[in-house]
Amino acid sequence: MTSDDQLQQVRERINAIDADLLRLISERAACAQAVAKIKDAHGESVKYYRPEREAEILRRIKAENPGPLDGEEVARLFREIMSACLALEKPLKVGYLGPQGTFTQAAALKHFGHSVHAQPFGAISDIFREVEAGACDYGVVPVENSTEGVVNHTLDMFMRSPLLIAGEVTLRIHHHLLSNAKDLGAVRRVYSHQQSLAQCRGWLDRYLPNAERVAVGTNADAAKRAAAAEDAAAVASEAAAELYALRVLAQRIEDEPGNTTRFLVIGSEDSPPSGHDKTSMLLSCRNEAGGLHRLLTPFAKQGLSMTRIESRPSRQGVWDYVFFVDVCGHRQSPEVEAALVELKGAANLCKVLGSYPEAVL
């Protein structure tokens, strides 16, 4: 067979696959409409977006993926298919911390797909307000940034908002070496946030052993300083390279590929159990010896693993500190339920911020 004949054969197979895909995607969308109709007919309060069911589907797709596409890529395609089907029932309105082009926008689209109506807002408090007022169905706000630490404003908002956490999104962040210099040989100083410098230590030791490392407030600030010099570089994002017209001397120089930043999806309800969930809560106790230890005992007793703890000064004047705690497990699970009962006794404040599926993608 000539290569043309072979190619022709494969292309005909692709065309046949496309026809099947079109039929199946259309049938799936019709099923989504059928679900809405059944719910309507029975007068149920119709909740179209089901985070726990979407998480289950994405996890199954990743587990059963035969390749050659990688699991994340296939899950991303299903995320878009589900997003399109959901928009047919009711297009979700999602507010995010703008402007456009930020990581938070990317997180909102990664979580909800591109068929939602995503709207940028200028402040985290605006997003809470819009969701509280029902003008947005959900909001997406940053909560952890591995380079710039916790986004405190988001945590503070939870102290006074009735909103719950309905999901989490993680994004992988890459670090690049940016400079005006033509090559590594000309770089005498490297600016970055100290956490970014730490995350790229292995690479810097190997390729820039003699350059001075200077820790600055943010990676954007580092890029700005590098832009003003001929013999300096910054460890920062691709966006910073573009903003400050810096050359990318080396890409993805982080030692560990798992450098991520985390966002929360906020809404008026949290999510039913999906099988792999987290529960976030706000705890407080008086600032006395052993106070925090006592606070955490119920988790240990129930064998619950804590994925994060963060302390914040309380603004309420009554307690000295509040703690944001994430544990693995849904609040409806017996272990978390038992721990919460015990906590109500031990803590001055115990506010469950929500249970939600662990980030799948």
Options 69-77, 167-175, 212-220, 227-235: segment touching a second copy (CB under 8 A): 69-77
Task: Tell me how far CA of residue 50 lies from CA of 53, 108, 125, 167, in angstroms.
Answer: 5, 16, 25, 11
Is the Cβ–Cβ distance between 146 and 114 less than 8 Å?
A: no
30 binds a second copy (CB under 8 A): yes
Going by their DSSP bridges, the two strands 212-215 and 189-192 should be labelled as: parallel
- Active-site annotation holder among 121, 128, 263, 299: 263
Options 9-17, 138-146, 293-301, 321-329: segment touching a second copy (CB under 8 A): 9-17
257 binds a second copy (CB under 8 A): no
The one among 67, 185, 334, 345 contacting a second copy by CB under 8 A? 67
Q: Which is nearer to a second copy, 117 or 351 (CB)?
A: 117
Read off the DSSP letter of residue 245.
T
69 binds a second copy (CB under 8 A): yes
Residues numbered 120-159 forming contacts with a second copy, rule: CB under 8 A: 120-122
Output the six-digit token pair for 112.
């909800």
The one among 148, 238, 310, 337 contacting a second copy by CB under 8 A? 238
Number of residues interacting with a second copy: please give it, by CB under 8 A. Answer: 70
305 binds a second copy (CB under 8 A): no
Whether 263 is catalytic: yes
28 binds a second copy (CB under 8 A): yes
172 binds a second copy (CB under 8 A): no
Q: What distance in Å separates the CA atoms of residue 346 and residue 318, rounded to the nearest whole number?
A: 16
Residue 120 burial class via C-beta count within 10 angstroms: exposed 0-12, middle 13-18, buried 19 and up: middle
Q: What is the SS3 assignment for 9?
A: helix
Residues numbered 90-119 forming contacts with a second copy, rule: CB under 8 A: 98-102, 105, 114-115, 119
Mapping DSSP onto H, E and C, the string for 70-112 reads CHHHHHHHHHHHHHHHHHHHCCCEEEEECCCCCHHHHHHHHHH
Output the six-digit token pair for 127.
């997003």
Is the Cβ–Cβ distance between 360 and 58 less than 8 Å?
A: yes
Q: What is the SS3 assignment for 166?
A: strand
Q: Which is nearer to a second copy, 107 or 339 (CB)?
A: 107
Q: What distance in Å separates the CA atoms of residue 36 and residue 75, rounded to the nearest whole number?
A: 24
- Active-site annotation holder among 261, 279, 323, 324: 261
Beta carbon of residue 242, minimum distance to a second copy (angstroms, whole number): 4
Whether 154 is catalytic: no
Q: Where on the chain is the footprint of a second copy (CB under 8 A)?
A: 3, 6-7, 10-11, 13-15, 17-35, 38-39, 41-42, 44, 53, 57, 60-61, 64-69, 73-74, 76-78, 80-81, 84-85, 87-88, 98-102, 105, 114-115, 119-122, 238-239, 242-243, 245
> Which positions are catalytic?
261, 263
